[in-house]
């Protein structure tokens, strides 16, 4: 390992210990995940964070690969139920998410008014949510 990842691992172990995660299987699993990512990617913190975000998307059952016309049966996307086809146009009912902060784990979707979650999309596309902060 490199000096950079050694520092990340040491810092992570300290933080996880403060939370008591070192006494559970979760702490070692997180450390192993960080080390394995580094083993595959090297000193690439930006890519490591991007992969971690994609893992979160997978847990939320959000597609991370291109959505194409092949993903549709009866005008519904079989990989993500919020994407559908009406006529010749495609829509994502969750294209815009409303949050109180970027870190807010809760998501709100609005379907009336000036700002709406539903947006027309063009295929092929990669699922992306636009975040709008609300007071």
User: Of 59, 88, 107, which residue is a domain's last?
Assistant: 59
**Residue 25, domain extent:** 3-59
Q: In the predicted model, is pLDDT for residue 95 greater than 90?
A: yes
55 and 104 fall within a common domain: no
The average pLDDT across 15-38 equals 97
For helices 26-41 and 3-18, the axis angle rounded to 10 degrees is: 160
21 and 55 fall within a common domain: yes
Task: Check if the beta carbon of residue 128 is closer than 8 Å to that of residue 121.
Answer: no
What is the Cα–Cα distance from 65 to 124, expressed in whole angstroms?
A: 10
52 and 88 fall within a common domain: no
Q: pLDDT at position 115, please?
A: 81
Mean pLDDT computed over every residue of the chain: 93
Beta strands in the chain (DSSP E): 72-73, 76-77, 83-86, 89-92, 96-99, 119-121, 130-133
100 and 119 fall within a common domain: yes
The average pLDDT across 7-13 equals 97
Model pTM? 0.80
What is the Cα–Cα distance from 66 to 122, expressed in whole angstroms?
A: 11
76 and 123 fall within a common domain: yes
41 and 93 fall within a common domain: no
Give pLDDT tens digits for 28-63.
999 999 999 999 999 999 999 999 999 999 999 999
Of all residues in the chain, what percent are helix, strand and coil, respectively (each to 5)? 40, 20, 40
């Amino acid at each position: 390992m490199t000096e950079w990842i050694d520092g990340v691992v040491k810092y992570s172990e300290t933080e996880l210990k403060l939370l008591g995660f070192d006494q559970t299987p979760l702490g070692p699993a997180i450390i192993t995940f960080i080390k394995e990512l580094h083993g595959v990617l090297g000193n690439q913190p930006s890519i490591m964070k991007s992969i971690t975000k994609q893992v979160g998307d997978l847990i939320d059952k959000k597609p991370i690969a291109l959505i194409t016309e092949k993903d549709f049966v009866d005008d519904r996307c079989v990989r993500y139920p919020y994407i559908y086809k009406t006529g010749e146009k495609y829509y994502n009912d969750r294209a815009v998410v409303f949050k109180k902060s970027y870190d807010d784990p809760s998501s709100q979707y609005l379907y009336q008014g000036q700002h709406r979650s539903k947006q027309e999309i063009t295929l092929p596309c990669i699922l992306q949510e636009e975040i709008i902060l609300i007071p």
